[in-house]
Structure 1
Amino acid sequence: MAAQEHHQQQPPALRRRRFCYSNVGVRVWWFDQQLLAALRGAGGGGRGSSDAAAPAPRQVVVFGAGFDTRPWRLDLPDGVSWFEIDLPEIIDAKRHRLTDLHASLGPKRPAGGGGNPDGGAVAAHSRHPLRAASWAALSADLQRPGWAAALVDAGLDPSRPTVWVAEGLLMYLTHQQSAALLHEAAGEWAVSPPGSRLVMHNSTQELLDLRDSHGAGFQYGPFPHDLVATWKSGFPTGDAAAALASLLAATGWAQMGACRGRAGIAAEACAAGFGGGEGWGAEAVAERVDFEAQPDVGQDRWAVFFTAGK
């Protein structure tokens, strides 16, 4: 949020500058776009989806949210209830940081409008107002089942569609843990009616196989080797959409949506003018990224981004 504010204060000439796309920057852009599309009721399930008549989701659950600031920086539709799940020490650190930044933890309220059930400051004069109707953070270990019941207790309405987001999480779970997470989100506690959507990404099994065969010499920039060494599972590559669709269907998500590698996302971001400047074409991607720009080549096969619906 502070970086966004700093950018807005720059002179117009500086704000028009074009910036290179980083690996993580493109990832964040894609998640932003897919989340907003899902909240509009677009871009969720695949062909034959049963959610055509379902209302657009107005609930978001972010797994392993960390210091994600989307409910403060995105232009969300009215009425979005936002839930985050992470380890207790992460949630505590985030609350302290949000307080330091004078960010509200509750919706904007007029003077004398009552307290905030989450314990946050009244947002009428907040430096960073909450753009969701509500925000709740739950402590849970996502390696273990049972978190869905806690979400319902915290206010998630199991009768309404939900967008489930996992950014930078699934690779830290085993295959069994990832499957259990997706299955619980799909409806073990009946928390995902038709119209619900997944927006997620993971490393690929191809990456993990290469890492294991190369040992200490393996590099996947910008991620340090010691970090990549902790990744426990991977999904099929982006060109194996049928295999990924089968995996998702087995966990209760039968309608495959988007399936991309990072290069494809960079081309979309380039065409949209992300990073400054206007009117870029996809041919500029190779000059603007610090990662593989050709789809399904080399390191582009090491991460997969996908959406799915019910």
Structure 2
Amino acid sequence: MSQYENLGLPLIHAGKVRELYALDDPGKLLMVATDNISAYDFVLEPAVPGKGIVLTQLSLWWFGQLADLIDNHLISTDVPAAVAGRAMITERLDMVPIEAVARGYLTGSGWIEYQDSGTVCGVQLPAGLHDGSRLAEPIFTPARKAELGEHDENISFEQMCAEIGDDLGAKLRDATLSIYRRAEQITRERGIILADTKLEFGLRADGTLVLADEVLTPDSSRFWDAREWEHGRLASFDKQYLRDWLAHDSDWDRSGSVPPPPLPPHIVEKTRERYLLAFQRLTGDELVLN
């Protein structure tokens, strides 16, 4: 069900956060970022007001920072007034069915796997690391995209190549690590640590690899305050605050079949504040939402 039926455009796909609409030109799409927020494979209620605008505007800023590294799918921001600020017109691509993840720090699902096996997606790591450890070199840890409501599955580089081919697999890895290294340098200059990020890519008809979807936002990345990290604390500018509430303070049983409870107003507001602060710290501009 579309949140923007008044656009009068055919809805192609409605994901957890984004909606894709067909345009008269078959080579173009309208991509709209809603205010939905997801965690643990659930879309949560209520939405976070203005979140879709933050994601879109930050993605546009990052596309500019990365333009010399890789092509991206952006064509125009001349979109219908009903979705102004939260939408872009993009190329229609053949999307690669892989979440391309770069990790420069050990945390999240990587930390969980490391504690069990000393590896992350088949990459052997040194002993003695802790949650939040900086890795000697960033690593590429792909995941197989799942259907809506299912878990993405972490896989090894070899498994990925078996599915999409060695040549495309190598291009995906190299592009992901190149983007991460550039972005990590930019965020560090602004007092933010980019712990990890997930990227999506598509292919043009001529085989060109293109950066697509959102990029380096609080939805797709872990951002930490650099000064806090130096003191051993992981203070986030992303939706980890919301995840922590669900996991520790909401009395929700993640192992059960009952959906998460509604988000309290203060959790929604604090999450919104963190997204806006991430935008301001990264871009140097203040994003004013109505």
State whether TM-score is above 0.5: no
Question: Which structure shows the higher helix fraction?
Answer: 1
TM-score (norm 1): 0.27
Larger RCO (CA under 8 A, 6+ residues apart): 1
Query: Greater share of strand residues, 1 or 2?
Result: 2
* TM-score between both structures, scaled by the size of structure 2: 0.28
The structure with the larger Rg is: 1
